[in-house]
Amino acid sequence: MLVLTFIGALHASPCQTSTTSMDVSSAAGQVVATFTQMDAEGVGKARTELEETIRCLGEILPRPDAAAVYRADALAAYLEDAPQRVIADFRSAAQLQPSYKLSLAVAPEGHPLRGYYDSAQALGPGGDEMLPAGLVAYADGVRAWVRPLERPVILQFMDSSGQVRSSIMLRPGDPLEAVIPWELVPDDATSSTDLALQGQASSAAPTSGTDSAAPSLRSPLLVGAGVSAVGAIVAFSVANIALSNFNDPQTTDITQLESYRKTTNSGVAISGVLGLAAVGCGVSAFLVGTW
């Protein structure tokens, strides 16, 4: 049934008018109202209307309204005896509104829905799938670059003018590629599958040349350059003082002259080494972010 509904949504007729978040909220409330009236047929019709209202959205749906949609869909799933979908819907709702409490009018104490809701609240956000690069997408009201895999999500796609081009409620198992408005994806953008593989590879075997590794390498290199530069300045200052004492006409003691000579030579040598180290660290810090 879910597959047929999903395919039907893809081939639905164009929207005559755009809907708003208030329309979605009202449609979700209608599902809840018919559920509390024990009207199974009415719940089914109201849920179909809710999906159509989402499909024709002309604006980004706020997160509280998205949470209401998931709770309404959970009620419809419960009447269809689909417990896994009930939990998945409640899971998305809990991610958006973790402190929300089910109404006693919807689920009295001891009702099975409360057990499903408690189970869903104990679950985390789950895994995700990357969206195509360059696509402006929103998931449950916020800018998104991934799509959840283990729970439903309301995806909305925008064009370059900032207008919502399409909206759909995607459930676990629904193919992402079938709902992507590919005309909005730049020609040189990487597919979601390729991006997912790249993400897995980079997390499994990170390298020093990646963007994520560059900041962690650049910081210690810059610190090293600064410390070396300070050390070079101090060493050169010590050498300069020793040289001045060596050239002082009042310095006649042979032992002191020899000591000043050694200090001068050592200071110059150390200053040179530290100076080179400072330059090397500084250049490396600059290059590490460009490789």
Q: Residues, the chain, total?
A: 291
pLDDT, tens digit, 9 for 90 and up, residues 148-174: 999 999 999 999 899 999 999 999 999
Q: CB–CB of 47/31 below 8 Å?
A: yes
In order of 60, 81, 140, 268, the CA distances from 65 in angstroms are: 10, 24, 9, 71
Angle at 160 between CA 157 and CA 163, to 5 degrees: 55
**How far is it, in rounded angstroms, from Cα 75 to Cα 43?**
8
Dihedral-angle region of residue 251 (phi above 0 means left; psi in -120 to 50 means alpha; beta otherwise): beta
To the question of pTM greater than 0.85 for the whole model, the response is: no
pLDDT digits (tens, 9 = 90+) for 235-280: 677 767 866 776 766 666 667 667 767 777 776 678 677 677 767 7
Residue 78 has pLDDT above 60, yes or no: yes
Task: Give the residue among 171, 17, 35 at the shortest CA–CA distance from 92.
Answer: 171
Task: Give me the residues paired with residue 153 across strands.
Answer: 170
Report the chain's mean pLDDT, rounded to a whole number. 80
pLDDT per position as a tens digit, 202-231 = 344 344 444 444 455 666 766 676 777 777
User: What does the DSSP assignment read for 12-78?
Assistant: PPPPSS-B-HHHHHHHHHHHHHHHHTT-HHHHHHHHHHHHHHHHTB-SPPPHHHHHHHHHHHHHHHH
Percentage of the chain modeled with pLDDT above 90: 51
Least confident of 35-39, 125-129, 276-280: 276-280
